[in-house]
Structure 1
Amino acid sequence: MDGISSGDAGVAVDRLWPGQPATITDLSGGITNRNYRVDVGGSSYVLRVGGKDTELLGIDRSTEHAASLRAAEVGVGPEVIDFLQPEGWLVTRFIQGRSVPPNEIRTPDGIQRVARVLQKIHGAAPIPGRFDAHAVVEEYRNAARAHGVRIPVEFDEAHRVSEQIRRARGMQPTVPCHNDLLNANFLDDGEIRVVDWEYAGMGDRFFDLANLSVNHDFELADDRLLL
């Protein structure tokens, strides 16, 4: 991600653990951020450094911090250790877990395990921020136009369908949602954990469920079990 350097990690580590020897390891997988494992003082942490201009995607690092705290509170996310301002760098406890491949999540047991995790998230106390799946794509379109990006011709039809869905469903209650349930954001340390809360906000729980389904190639039977 542009705007992120390994030097940022070194600066953050010096501020967090001044004078202590630390090992910094670059973790792969970040799209709008860079993640580092930091081993220091006999413990392991993850330092999360946000990318340049991510506010154009509606990302607010203070909201991410609050959502991460809530996720840890309900036993879904890693423990939050620190939050460095004004940069918005987040430090969490490193999870000694494994990735969970999509075919494992698609099993009946996998779907039930993830569903229990989502119930904890959606039943948690409110968090800052709002994520409206219909409005977000309009905001992205407007931001793209403002930066001279050509809008794909398929957008208009997709937007028309989105508006049909919005009207048909009407107003929905909002609950804490993750909104970015890519497979890479699930870890298993004996329990299913969810990381990367930068798109989190109060939203429609059914967007979270649909997001999980699409990102894991669920079949109709899988969707029915999830519901």
Structure 2
Amino acid sequence: MWVSPYMGTGNGLGNGKCSMNHTHIINELKPVLSLSDNACLTELQSGEVNRVYKLKDGETRFAVKSLARDEFSGINRFHQFLLQEQLAHREIAPAPVWLNKAQDLWVESWLEKRLEQEIADSDKPGILAGVLAQIHKQPITVRPLDLPKRLFHYVEKAFLEEDDPLVKQTQQVIRQYALDYVPAEHLVLCHNDLSWGHIQSLDPVMIVDWEYAAMGNRFFDLASCASINRFNEQDTERLIARYARQADIAQSTVEHYYYEQKEVVDTTEALWTAALNASCQACV
């Protein structure tokens, strides 16, 4: 069946006119996309950092992301734009269309979410494992994620002192798991934010929201997927078992590195949340 990838929040108007708080976005996009006066934005369910819109102008559709609230992530949107161009060429991601100079307004082709049938929650870990394995096999080489640098970037943005327990935990994790080095057999293209909601289609596989993607540790990506989707122990076992088969890696090896990287993911998410909270407080 075909469904919208997000549910509307009611901020878009059905009469072809735009609400006033969307006017500045429309005005910026008009000359770039040759929009008519009837172009309208509908705000969709968004994340904690970005606002996502569906842009409609006659029969033309775009997905628009307002990134103005992201003052802490450290993401280089230009590099992500170039990466997504490669992914779109591989037909695994929507084609990016435009990024403004301030890197706070992103436009890409619109995708409807397409699922052939309702999928049981118990089947989702296995499907996500297969999708991750397919992402990890993509013949795309981009800049590797410097995870220690990213972690200390979050420390700085969260205004954490050196004696803060989370900072000490970060230093310990970096030392214990040698995060400045990824073995060649573990280094692959990673999504690093793969929730079930980011899968738009399974046949063919089509994924959205690649903003945290980079070359990185496949097992960090696996542990991140389990955390983002809030998998319980049984779900995690399914994820690991299916990924081991799909990636042709011994299950015991996947289990070992998964639980090693889980601690890294937990620390990363704690720092990300601290940086987000500090950013939100600064805007109040």
In structure 1, the residue matched to 2:13 is none
The structure-2 alpha-carbon separation of the partners of 1:125 and 1:226, relative to structure 1 and needing over 3 Å to count, comes to closer
Structure number with the bigger relative contact order (C-alpha 8 A, sep ≥ 6) is: 1
In structure 2, the residue matched to 1:73 is 89
The structure-2 alpha-carbon separation of the partners of 1:61 and 1:171, relative to structure 1 and needing over 3 Å to count, comes to closer
1:13 to 25, 29, 43: 29
In structure 2, the residue matched to 1:156 is 168
The 3-state SS of whatever aligns with 2:112 is coil
In structure 2, the residue matched to 1:87 is 102
Q: Deviations over 1:51-76 (max 9, x none)?
A: 2453x322111122122222222222
1:45 to 62, 66, 71: 62
Q: Is the 8 A contact 2:145 2:215 kept in 1?
A: yes
> Cα offset for 1:162?
4.3
- 2:187 is the counterpart of 1:181: no
Q: Is the 8 A contact 1:46 1:93 kept in 2?
A: yes
2:214 to 195, 201, 205: 201
The structure-2 alpha-carbon separation of the partners of 1:160 and 1:149, relative to structure 1 and needing over 3 Å to count, comes to closer
The structure-2 alpha-carbon separation of the partners of 1:128 and 1:221, relative to structure 1 and needing over 3 Å to count, comes to closer
- 2:104 is the counterpart of 1:111: no
User: So what's the TM-score if we normalise by structure 1?
Assistant: 0.77
Higher strand proportion: 1
The 3-state SS of whatever aligns with 1:14 is helix
Structure 1 CA distance, aligned partners of 2:112 and 2:157? Answer: 38
The 3-state SS of whatever aligns with 1:57 is coil
Q: Which runs of 5+ in 2 are unaligned?
A: 1-20, 245-284
Structure 2 CA distance, aligned partners of 1:17 and 1:151? Answer: 50
Q: Which runs of 5+ in 1 are unaligned?
A: none
Structure 2 CA distance, aligned partners of 1:32 and 1:127? Answer: 27
> Cα offset for 1:197?
1.6
Q: AA paired with 1:185?
A: H
> Cα offset for 1:170?
5.3
1:126 to 128, 140, 163: 140
The 3-state SS of whatever aligns with 1:118 is helix
Q: AA paired with 1:163?
A: R
Q: Is the 8 A contact 1:186 1:194 kept in 2?
A: yes
Note the aligned Cα RMSD (angstroms). 3.1
Q: Is the 8 A contact 1:134 1:163 kept in 2?
A: no
Q: AA paired with 2:215?
A: M
2:40 to 5, 23, 27: 23
The structure-2 alpha-carbon separation of the partners of 1:53 and 1:171, relative to structure 1 and needing over 3 Å to count, comes to closer
Q: Is the 8 A contact 2:29 2:35 kept in 1?
A: no
> Cα offset for 1:151?
7.6
Structure 2 CA distance, aligned partners of 1:75 and 1:106? Answer: 27
The structure-2 alpha-carbon separation of the partners of 1:218 and 1:12, relative to structure 1 and needing over 3 Å to count, comes to farther
Q: Is the 8 A contact 2:192 2:220 kept in 1?
A: yes
Structure 2 CA distance, aligned partners of 1:106 and 1:166? Answer: 34
Bigger Rg, which one:
2
2:76 to 36, 55, 60: 60
Q: AA paired with 1:165?
A: Y
The structure-2 alpha-carbon separation of the partners of 1:64 and 1:154, relative to structure 1 and needing over 3 Å to count, comes to same
Q: Deviations over 1:103-122 (max 9, x none)?
A: 94652xx3343333323322
Structure 2 CA distance, aligned partners of 1:213 and 1:17? Answer: 38
Aligned residues between the structures = 213
Q: Is the 8 A contact 2:130 2:242 kept in 1?
A: no
Structure 1 CA distance, aligned partners of 2:225 and 2:133? Answer: 13
